[in-house]
Amino acid sequence: MSKISDYESIVGAEVINELKMLAKKLKDKVIQNINSTSVGGGVAEILGRMVPLLQDLGVDARWDVLKGGEKYFQVTKKFHNALHGRKTEITSDDYEIFLETTKENIEQIEFYGDIIFIHDPQPVALVEKRRYLKSRWIWRCHIDFTSPDPEIWKFLKSFVEQYDACVFSAPSFARPLPIRQFLISPSIDPLSEKNRDLSEEEINNVLEELKINRDKPIITQISRFDYLKDPFGVIEAFRLVKKYVDCRLVLAGGGAVDDPEGQKVFQEVVEKAENDPDILVLLLPPASDLEINALQRASTVILQKSLREGFGLTVAEALWKAKPVVASAVGGIPLQIAHKYSGLLSHTVQGTAYWIRQLLHSPEYATRLGENGKAHIKQNFLLTRHLRDYLLLFLSLEEEEDVIYL
Amino acid sequence: MHKKKPRLTKAKQPFHFYTRLNLIEFTGKKATNLRELVEIMKEVPGSVIYHHTHHYLQQHLYLSPEPPNDFAYWVTYILREDELGEEIASIDLCEFSTIRSLREKIIETIEEHLARNPGTLRTAPPGAEFHFFKTITFILPTPYIAGDLLEFLKALRKISIHSIYFHMFEAKLRLEKGENDFSRWIEDMLKEKELAREIAKFDPYTFTMEGLRGELCRLITKHIPGEIIECQK
């Protein structure tokens, strides 16, 4: 488990000192995080890292998990899909199951926090307990909220409105609400297996295992096999580049094992590759973090040619490795890439191919973009910035002013 | 006979370095065309105008010395009003010592454009509306304190870029002190008028933040006698 001091060599002593100063101001507060699972999923992963680091800073942060049966989680899965804009039928029985489980949890959970920090839609209705408590309540929405199904949003909104504040990840996710809304971007952990420094030997070992030869430039897209990640467009762009530059394409991703659509997309991508020996389509098993890290580090250019994207943290992962990135200007990607400064933004297959060729022909420019990209991620998208924003968020609950002297 | 050793002026009051940290809050307001943009700009708090003219600079301050403001970016790339976009982008932020006057200048620029082009109101496509955010600024002390120019130089090399940002930009415009904190202290406490003037006439918007740190250090070093600098090596 990483300690806050482990990050000092990466972000500098000043950043760690600022975190310590902020943490001191919260020493009398208990922060109670509540979500729906202790293992698996992005939120559990974030809490698993954040809570111990907050404790290491001296903040009394704790973590409780809501309990629910199989039916309840089937319902919340439906909510999740509908909030992502997928057409999903939600019955009155579903709402009843959701409310009944919430009621049981309100009775079972001990709400001891000065600040109750609720993560994602599953435990959102616990806020019904609020009227009996003096605590401050925050709802943290981690999911893509670009176009939620109006019916489910109407239902959830009645609970969200009872909070003191809510937090979204990107400007386009924010909704008209009568409560305060904060914008806090997600982050990557530079010390995790997916992002830590690797030796050349480690990189070579992984590439040997994956049977990828490093004899020519490697262009890579890491993403699950999903139409919205446009793997077909990536292959088309690669073929346009290949006319002029000899190179290799790697399309690698996981998450298709229990996803029937993912399996189908994977098969279609393999067919589209037409046995071209320079196109490698890799289905990675879960927990392939080391493999992803090595693949990114071995790449000459990294792509994220998504048609739609939540935040798109794979871009931050690639930039952290100082790689030149060509990505679509969708979702949270323009927050991570300033066009021509820290990467390149494209809108079409032809544009993607054009920028890849530019990068392959101008290695100095590619290096500069990668270095700028890394600096940008260091400043704005590392876990330490995420911790800082959370500490500021907790402190802001007691303040109405826009300039606050601590 | 002993040669008199050069000495640095000691300040009556030392310089305390502060830093600032920001949190971004959504106002719930959004505009789809220029008229809506200008109407909302008139009613939002100053922290909103500050956010949209400075947040790019804060996020990219080590990359590019040409910070576009959000209003100019939206007008140019979303509404495709290139001429107006350029007019807004070229508003000289250095000229303004209050957010109020900066807000008035941007509004005036847009309103003049609307008057020159009646009847042509372009609308942003769905999803590309202008969302209004504000910056909540937390100001906190750092452990760095300087009593003379050499101590000031040493601290300047160590403080975070947020601290430089706070004293050079935020103090002047957002806290409406009229000038940056460094120039004021150097002039009032150290009586180094020439150095204070040199720093005051900087256009900090044309430097990256590390470039600004480098330039400040270079200027200050020039005003410290060589023997003292040598002693520190």
What is the percent of chain A where pLDDT is above 70?
A: 98
Domain that holds residue A174: 4-187+383-396
Do A276 and A212 lie in one domain? The reply is yes
CA distance A147 to chain B (A): 10
Q: Which of B63, B133, B176, B209 to mutate to test the interface with A (most CBs of A within 10 A)?
A: B63
- Return the DSSP state at B177: -
Closest among A336, A335, A294 to A315, alpha carbons compared: A336
CA distance A110 to chain B (A): 30
Closest among A8, A1, A64, A5 to A31, alpha carbons compared: A64
Do A312 and A243 lie in one domain? The reply is yes
Chain B residues with beta carbon closer than 8 angstroms to that of A406: 138-140
Do A65 and A139 lie in one domain? The reply is yes
The reported pLDDT for the residue numbered A325 is: 98
Strand runs labelled E in A238-389: 248-253, 279-283, 301-304, 325-328, 344-346
Contact B19 A18 (CB under 8 A): yes
Q: Tell me, yes or no, whether A14 lies in a domain.
A: yes
Neighbour count for residue B114 (Cβ, 10 Å): 16
Chain A residues with beta carbon closer than 8 angstroms to that of B60: 338, 341-342, 376
Chain A residues with beta carbon closer than 8 angstroms to that of B57: none
Q: Tell me, yes or no, whether A192 lies in a domain.
A: no
Here the tokens at position A237 are 């762009």
Q: Tell me, yes or no, whether A163 lies in a domain.
A: yes
Neighbour count for residue A128 (Cβ, 10 Å): 14
Angle at A93 between CA A88 and CA A97, to 5 degrees: 100
The reported pLDDT for the residue numbered A257 is: 45
CA distance A93 to chain B (A): 33
- Minimal Cα distance from B142: which residue of A? A18
Chain B residues with beta carbon closer than 8 angstroms to that of A392: 21-23, 136, 138
Do A172 and A219 lie in one domain? The reply is no
- Our count of domains for chain A comes to 2
Instruction: Choose among A376, A393, A406: nearest Cβ to B23.
Output: A393
Do A328 and A234 lie in one domain? The reply is yes
Closest among A63, A174, A162 to A112, alpha carbons compared: A63
Do A318 and A333 lie in one domain? The reply is yes
Do A273 and A388 lie in one domain? The reply is no
A301-304 β-sheet, strand order: A279-283, A248-253, A218-222, A301-304, A325-328, A344-346
Q: Which of A179, A336, A402 to mutate to test the interface with B (most CBs of B within 10 A)?
A: A402
Q: What is the pLDDT of residues B180-194, one digit of tens each?
A: 999 999 999 999 999
Do A237 and A92 lie in one domain? The reply is no
Strand runs labelled E in chain B: 15-31, 130-146
The reported pLDDT for the residue numbered A282 is: 95
Q: Tell me, yes or no, whether A404 lies in a domain.
A: no
> What's phi and psi for A143, nearest 5 deg?
-95, 165
Chain B residues with beta carbon closer than 8 angstroms to that of A177: 28
Helix ranges restricted to H, A57-142 = 70-83, 92-108
Chain B residues with beta carbon closer than 8 angstroms to that of A182: 23-26
* Beta strand pairing call for A218-222 and A136-140: unpaired
**Average pLDDT, stretch B145-174?**
89
Do A41 and A159 lie in one domain? The reply is yes
Here the tokens at position B230 are 């040598």
- Minimal Cα distance from A169: which residue of B? B24
Q: What is the mean pLDDT of chain A?
A: 92
- Minimal Cα distance from B174: which residue of A? A403
Here the tokens at position A242 are 């290949």
The reported pLDDT for the residue numbered A255 is: 58
Q: What is the pLDDT of residues A361-395, one digit of tens each?
A: 999 999 999 999 998 899 899 999 999 999 999 99
Interface residues of chain B, partner chain A, Cβ below 8 Å: 19, 21-26, 28, 45-47, 59-64, 127, 131, 133-140, 142-143, 158-160, 162-163, 174-175
How many Cβ pairs closer than 8 A exist between chain A and B?
96
Which CATH number characterizes residue A174's domain?
A: 3.40.50.2000
- Return the DSSP state at B82: H
Q: Tell me, yes or no, whether A406 lies in a domain.
A: no
Q: Tell me, yes or no, whether A319 lies in a domain.
A: yes
Do A167 and A241 lie in one domain? The reply is no
* Selected residue with higher pLDDT from B134 and A335: B134
Chain A residues with beta carbon closer than 8 angstroms to that of B135: 402
Q: Tell me, yes or no, whether A401 lies in a domain.
A: no
Here the tokens at position A361 are 């022909």
Sign of CA dihedral A52, A53, A56, A58: negative
CA distance B14 to chain A (A): 20
Question: Which strand (E) or helix (H) includes residue A79?
Answer: helix A70-83
Res B134 pLDDT > 50: yes
Calculate helix-pair angle for B149-158, B209-222, nearest 10 degrees: 160
Q: To the nearest 10°, report the CA torsion of A81, A167, A61, A156.
A: -50
Cα(A396)–Cα(A9) distance, integer angstroms: 29
The reported pLDDT for the residue numbered A45 is: 82
Give residue for tokens 């032809």: A350
Q: What is the pLDDT of residues A51-97, one digit of tens each?
A: 999 999 999 999 999 999 989 989 998 898 888 777 889 999 999 99
Contact B21 A388 (CB under 8 A): yes
Closest among A34, A25, A31, A21 to A55, alpha carbons compared: A31
Q: Tell me, yes or no, whether A346 lies in a domain.
A: yes
The reported pLDDT for the residue numbered B5 is: 64
What 3 state SS string does A286-326 have?
CCCHHHHHHHHHHCCEEEECCCCCCCCHHHHHHHHCCCCEE
Do A175 and A140 lie in one domain? The reply is yes
Contact A172 B131 (CB under 8 A): yes
Do A234 and A170 lie in one domain? The reply is no
**pTM score:** 0.88
Q: What is the pLDDT of residues B77-117, one digit of tens each?
A: 889 999 999 999 999 888 888 899 999 999 999 999 999 99
Instruction: Choose among A18, A172, A389: nearest Cβ to B127.
Output: A172
Contact A177 B28 (CB under 8 A): yes
